Amino acid sequence: MNRLIRVFLAVVIASALLLFAINRLNKAEGFAGDNTLTIYNWGDYIDDELIDRFEEETGIKVIYETFDSNEAMLTKVQQGGTTYDIAVPSEYMIDKMREEDLLIPLDHSKIPNLKNIDERFMDLPFDPTNKYSVPYFWGTVGIVYNTKMLDDIEITSWSDLWDPALKNEILLVDGAREVMGMGLNSLNYSLNDTKEEHLKEAKEKLDSLTPNIKAIVGDEIKILIANEEAAVGVVWSGDAADMMWENENLDYVVPSEGSNLWFDNMVIPKTAKNVDAAHQFINFMLDPEVSAQNTEWVSYSTPNKAALEFMPEEMVEDERFYPSPELTEKLEVYENLGKKNLAMYNDFFLQFKMHRK
């Protein structure tokens, strides 16, 4: 019996020592709860040097994970398996997450750099008073095209894509809201239209574009356009900027009929374990010089007005990515249309894709 007791005590002591050692190691590596910040963001959407700088300045270890769609992000947050401290959803998803009580209200007193954000991008319908979110990047959906491959063809509107001269030359992003929105805008309908007859009309018009469509693709659209595998692409503005950096023959236009004005904002999910560190990181990213560095790396448009003076003049004055107020008035933010209407969009988009086959 004494021997069993001694063995039992030895196991308990060894286990305690092991747990102590693991805890010490985690603290040394920055994985203790109070010293860790878990961020959930889009891919290629932050300058890694800034994460290193934040860790050095604060002593907080950053764990960085990425997602490829708002819907994938929402599912992970809803499941709660990973306790994300910061996420970066788009505007319509922020609205949905608010409705589902998945977000923690922000403490603006802990984000003094919030004053640097352009007032035009604050207090928008998807998050009145910015109770839950802070602008990170914004941009448009438009048309990137190769001026060399198209010779004298000028593209200024959605309707130009139906030119027979563009046969088998167009790549589309694989997104229901983007493609259906293009169809709706080409008919002068709102890209938030929920009338079934209008969506059907948009789908039928998209069907007539089929001869000009080479493929409907994902992130690879950037490589394909930059390598001149196709002459035209319907893309997000930041992706267009990346392509134009790789290929000087490319240009980008926001169609004259109007298009999507989108926002990606930083939020703190209800699952957050380190709310204080989340506020620190948000404030850090809103620093003018930090924001300027991040904007140059990511290539999307910054909502940080104070950052503009630290950025190259040719970048700030480029109306393709910082559109004039006149054009901005024609742009629409995606609204949260609800499950029923989103299902209708997805259904018509699927019908369009199947029509191509």
Chain Cα centroid distance, residue 155: 26
CA distance 212 to 176: 18
Known binder of ligand: residue 145?
A: no
Task: DSSP for 88-118, please give it.
Answer: --BHHHHHHHHHTT-BPPP-GGG-GGGGGB-
Quickly list DSSP for 254-304: --TT--BEEEEEEE-BTT-S-HHHHHHHHHHHTSHHHHHHHHHHH-SBP-B
Nearest partner of 112 among 287, 240, 248, 267, judged by Cα: 287
Three-state DSSP class for residue 38? strand
Name residue 352's amino acid: F
Q: Which residues pair with 269 in a beta bridge?
A: 103
Residue 223: Cβ within 10 Å count: 13
Kindly calculate the radius of gyration of the chain based on its CA atoms and give it in whole angstroms: 24
Which of helix, strand or coil describes residue 226? helix
- CA-CA distance, 216 to 352, in Å (whole number)? 11
Quick one: how far is CA 307 from the chain centroid?
A: 20
Closest CA to 67 of 55, 80, 54, 76: 76
Helix (H), strand (E) at residue 87? strand 86-87
Tokens of 287: 């620093």
Residue-wise over 41-65: b if at least 16 C-beta within 10 A, else e? bbeebbeeebeeebeeeeebbbeee
Q: What angle do CA 94, 237, 39 make, to 5 degrees?
A: 40
Annotated binding-site ranges: 92
Binding residue positions for spermidine: 92
